[in-house]
Structure 1
Amino acid sequence: MKPLLFKVPAVDDRCFRLEQDNLSHFYGHLHFHPEIQLTLIREGEGTLIVGDKIDRFGRNDILMLGSNLPHVLRNDPDYFLPQSTRRSASVSVLFRAEQLEQTVLNMPETRHLLILLSESQHGIRFRCQEGHPLIAKFEALPLQRPFDQLLTLLSMLDYMAVNDGREMLSVSAFTQPQRPEDHQRLERVFAYMLENYHSPITLEDVASRANLTPGAFCRFFRQHTRKTFSTLLNEVRVEHACRNLRESKQTISQIAFACGYTNLSNFNRQFKEIMGMSPGQYIRRYNASPGVALEGHSL
């Protein structure tokens, strides 16, 4: 397995790097890098893992991922089908915090941005709509010369620092990379869970993917995610159930079984615990306000 320390290629001595991706799917492995990453999702949706947070990502999400913060944008399964025409597109700015801290952020007028950089160790998200000022700034970046790109980057950071609406993602902050073998274990477990959530998964199944005994795996998983594996598995299943409730014409029972639940009462109980409402209430609220994100308590 490739090491999960992701090295961002540098082509010159600039303090930031602009990247544009337009692919069938995003890079699907849990990874981290020393650069802070600021990303606009232009197109694509799937499961977002940032530190100990698991949730959905979608079009017009803006993410700020701190230095060495483990993360992955894993597209939904239909993106990987041979006949799929779905695309995943993004614009990202990657930069080293220390380079800005030693220069432009070392002034009274910009020191408020240091708080934002500190918060990025938890991961930050802005859920935006078309026409949002941050989206316009991202869209302008590829056409600008480097000096104007730097000004735009500072302007984006300023907007994110002084405006409400930013969402903290991970409860835990990650300031130093963990052991590579720990990342590899987590990556194998997350990949297995996301590929098999719709089927029965036992503790022995996932422990074997991490090459640990069930008892050692439980301790390892809680240490690195602050959750039990069963809690995270239920969050993944409910997250996919929410998508099916919004987008499919299946009954609640059919969706429950398709998401790995073997009885409806357990599904209803887990759904209400995570989302704060029953599946029926969820779909009624969504139909009453289509396009509005419905956030749960634990995801």
Structure 2
Amino acid sequence: MKPLLFRVPTVTDRSFRVQVDDGPHFYDRLHFHPELQLTLIKESVGTQVVGDRIDRFRPYDLLLLGANLPHVFRNDPAYFVPDSPERALSYSVYLRPEHLQQTVFGMPELNHLDQLFREARHGVRIRFNEVGSVTTCLEQLPTQRPFDQLMTLLSVLDQMASDPRRERLSITAYELPRRPDDHQRLDNVFTYILNNYASPITLEEVANQAHLTPSAFCRFFRLHTRKTFSQLLNEVRIEHACRLLQESKLPISQIAFSCGYTNLSNFNRQFKLITSLTPGQYSKAIF
């Protein structure tokens, strides 16, 4: 079984790599890599998994993901339809911290970035919502000469380190995986849940995706996500319910059923538990 260790193409004469992803959808498998990843989502929406955190990504989200932090940006189903007009566009920088630590990051003027890099082990996000100086700088990276790219990178990291909107994503911090096939198992589970959340899912079905018995799966899942399977499934379902409340005018009961709930009372209870609002309160708050 192959682990989902993502191999970032290396640049022999550089300490970091600038990459533009522009296509019908983003890479949709849960993965990790030893590089820190700084990513600006320019276009597209979907569900993101960063460590043990599941929520939505949207244009002008800026993320800094630490080394070996499992993550995936999975676009909504419309992006996977053949000949879809939807596009996914992002600008990323991949850097090996040990390369820069020996040079510029060892300078006392950059000591304030240490806290940002510690937080990056959990994933850090700033939501800009619109074009600004930071997002414009990142969009210009691919056309800059190497020295200017380095200056832009340092400037963006400096602004992230002082931005009060910065939020930590995952409760759990990740180092190297305990076993290389654990990420494959997690990817199988997340993919199955994201593809089937609208239907009834049993513990036995999802345990089969990890090739484990139900009891072994519960221990495995709790170890890697700090959550139970039912907690994660409810978070995915409520996350999609929130999207439907924002983007459609469907009745709340129909949204509940379309997200896999057969009992409206249970849907209302889980919705308030996760969002601290009732579906009705949430709907009023966004309009």
2:140 aligned partner: 140
1:256, 1:264 within 8 Å by CA — same for their partners in 2? yes
Partner Cα distance (2:168, 2:132) in 1: 19
Partner Cα distance (1:284, 1:130) in 2: 23
Partner-residue secondary structure (3-state), 1:122: coil
Partner Cα distance (1:286, 1:131) in 2: 22
Partner Cα distance (1:231, 1:133) in 2: 38
Q: Which structure 2 residues correspond to residues 94-133 of structure 1 after superposition, within 5 A? A: 94-133=94-133
1:284 aligned partner: 284
- Give, in angstroms, the shift of residue 218 of structure 1: 0.6
- Give, in angstroms, the shift of residue 10 of structure 1: 1.4
1:59 aligned partner: 59
Partner Cα distance (2:201, 2:125) in 1: 31
2:27, 2:74 within 8 Å by CA — same for their partners in 1? yes
- Give, in angstroms, the shift of residue 132 of structure 1: 2.2
Partner Cα distance (1:83, 1:176) in 2: 39
Partner-residue secondary structure (3-state), 1:180: coil
Q: Count the aligned residue pairs.
A: 287
Q: Which structure 2 residues correspond to residues 87-98 of structure 1 after superposition, within 5 A? A: 87-98=87-98
Partner Cα distance (1:195, 1:129) in 2: 28
Partner Cα distance (2:185, 2:142) in 1: 37
Once the two structures are superposed, what CA deviation does each residue of 1:79-125 show, in whole Å capped at 9, x if it has no partner? 11124211100000000011111110111111111221111110000
2:244 aligned partner: 244
Partner-residue secondary structure (3-state), 1:191: helix
* Structure 2: gaps spanning 5 or more residues: none
Partner-residue secondary structure (3-state), 1:105: helix
Partner-residue secondary structure (3-state), 2:73: strand
TM-score, normalization by structure 2: 0.98
- Give, in angstroms, the shift of residue 33 of structure 1: 0.4
* Aligned CA-pair RMSD: 1.0
Partner Cα distance (2:258, 2:178) in 1: 35
- Give, in angstroms, the shift of residue 35 of structure 1: 0.5
2:206 aligned partner: 206
- Give, in angstroms, the shift of residue 133 of structure 1: 2.3
Partner Cα distance (1:31, 1:175) in 2: 13
2:60, 2:129 within 8 Å by CA — same for their partners in 1? yes
1:40, 1:138 within 8 Å by CA — same for their partners in 2? yes
Partner Cα distance (1:102, 1:176) in 2: 22
Percentage of pairs with the same residue? 63
Q: Which structure 2 residues correspond to residues 1-299 of structure 1 after superposition, within 5 A? A: 2-287=2-287
2:60, 2:131 within 8 Å by CA — same for their partners in 1? no
Q: Closer, same or farther in 2 for the Cα pair 1:8/1:76, shift >3 Å?
A: same
- Give, in angstroms, the shift of residue 136 of structure 1: 1.6
Partner Cα distance (1:266, 1:177) in 2: 35
Partner Cα distance (2:11, 2:131) in 1: 32
Letter in 1 for 2:172: S
1:62, 1:127 within 8 Å by CA — same for their partners in 2? yes
- Give, in angstroms, the shift of residue 179 of structure 1: 1.4
- Give, in angstroms, the shift of residue 47 of structure 1: 0.7
Once the two structures are superposed, what CA deviation does each residue of 1:159-199 show, in whole Å capped at 9, x if it has no partner? 11122111100111112233121111100000000000000
* Structure 1: gaps spanning 5 or more residues: 288-299
Partner-residue secondary structure (3-state), 2:91: strand
2:62, 2:125 within 8 Å by CA — same for their partners in 1? yes
Runs of 4+, deviation exceeding 4 Å? none
Once the two structures are superposed, what CA deviation does each residue of 1:125-175 show, in whole Å capped at 9, x if it has no partner? 000122322102112212211000000000111111122111100111112
Partner-residue secondary structure (3-state), 1:40: strand
Partner Cα distance (1:269, 1:113) in 2: 41
- Give, in angstroms, the shift of residue 2 of structure 1: 4.5
